Amino acid sequence: MTRFGWFLGLEEWQPELLVARARRAEEAGFDAILVSDHLQPWVDDAGAAGHGWATWGAVASATRVATLVSAVACPLFRQHPVLVAQAAATLDRLSGGRFELGVGTGEGINEAPLGPFPPYAERLARMTEALELLRPLLAGETVRRPAGTFYPVSSIRLHSPPSSRVPVHLAAAGPRSAATAGRLADGVVSSVKDPERTGREVVDVARAAAAAAGRPPPRVVLTSFVVLAGSDDEAMRALRPWRGLRTPGRLVASSPTRLRQRADRLGRDRILARYRRVGEPRELLGFCTALLDRLRPDVFALQVAASDGSAAVERFAGLVDRLRQRR
């Protein structure tokens, strides 16, 4: 049975507002709260960038029943995998066993300001080693890897282990990360624009890799970004903190100033063309139904950019009720 979630961008909301939005999403009936992790926003003239783990702790305290998912933390550079495991275990205890750890190979905007941000091949190799630390530590094991290539560990275990099993989901936009998720993680996280493409290149690949490795089917956690706006002007107001997100070179860019400049050079029409937009939540029903039928996710979360982000929660809660009835 699919759980329906509400995605909150740490790079859009100041932490105190994000916590209030998370509480409101739970009250509106969403089953899961997904929160991103950012050192910097996508543009330098809008948005926010509170500390992810501190914010997740506050969300855990402000909610009661919703599943909490990091979407996603990068345990490779500014955050060591052992410290991510420690933070995830602590958050699981504080939330009463409601936390699921989503991890990814990183983005330049968050990792490059503090040091080298290597090409994808090295980041994936680092992630492979990080998962070999994260999963046993979260299972309560003592880990010894003195010969680790990237993260040598003499001997360590968590002395405040999770109160329950913490699933580890790996973010994937293509088949290489998806296959790694199927082999080494508990699940896969992906953002969906085209359900068929995501199915072919991510979800099917992860499921096949898990089956080939003799592992259970991976959990599938999906998000989809939508703009709620009745006009181009309203859409641009909603996208102000996000307009650097889909600019060329955004994965390796380290400066929100440069991303803002690139986005503004694109112009309004080209920015708007990069996002799915609806005037009313019901217009998204066909897309969501196709996504659920094709991909059968365990969690499907909506990420909504709107000029009134607070009211958007209630407006999309009605859509989720209709989707639940169709299940």
Mean pLDDT of 280-288: 97
Question: Which residues are marked as active site?
Answer: 38, 107
- For residue 53, what are its two tokens? 């783990």
Percent of the chain with pLDDT over 70: 100
Report which secondary-structure segment, H or E, holds 290. helix 285-295
**Alpha-carbon distance values, 306 to 226, 234, 280, 289, 313 (Å):** 9, 8, 11, 22, 10
Residue 136: strand, helix, or coil: helix
pLDDT at res. 309: 87
Nearest to residue 61, comparing CAs of 86, 30, 98?
A: 98
pLDDT at res. 310: 85
**Alpha-carbon distance values, 166 to 31, 81, 140, 162, 197 (Å):** 17, 15, 11, 7, 29
Whether residue 72 is preceded by a cis peptide bond, meaning omega within 30 degrees of 0, is: yes
Q: pLDDT tens for residues 193-214?
A: 999 999 999 999 999 999 999 9
Sign of CA dihedral 314, 318, 324, 327: negative
pLDDT at res. 327: 63
Mean pLDDT computed over every residue of the chain: 97
Q: Please say whether the beta carbons of 232 and 268 come within 8 A.
A: yes
Report which secondary-structure segment, H or E, holds 133. helix 120-138
Q: Please say whether the beta carbons of 4 and 31 come within 8 A.
A: yes
Could you identify the residue written with the tokens 């799915």? 276
Q: pLDDT tens for residues 228-264?
A: 999 999 999 999 999 999 999 999 999 999 999 999 9
Percent of the chain with pLDDT over 90: 98
Could you identify the residue written with the tokens 């290149």? 201
Nearest to residue 297, comparing CAs of 214, 204, 163?
A: 204
pLDDT at 37 over 90: yes
Residue 134 per-residue DSSP state: H
pTM given for the model: 0.97
User: Which pLDDT band, with edges at 50, 70 and 90, does 326 fall under?
Assistant: confident
Mean pLDDT of 92-106: 98
The half-sphere exposure of 90 on its side-chain side, counting CA atoms within 13 A, is 12
pLDDT at res. 223: 98
Go through the domains of the chain in sequence order and give each one's CATH number. Answer: 3-326 (3.20.20.30)
pLDDT at 29 over 90: yes
Q: pLDDT tens for residues 70-97?
A: 999 999 999 999 999 999 999 999 999 9
Give me the helix-helix angle, 309-326 and 285-295, nearest 10°: 50
Report which secondary-structure segment, H or E, holds 169. strand 168-171
- For residue 224, what are its two tokens? 């989809």
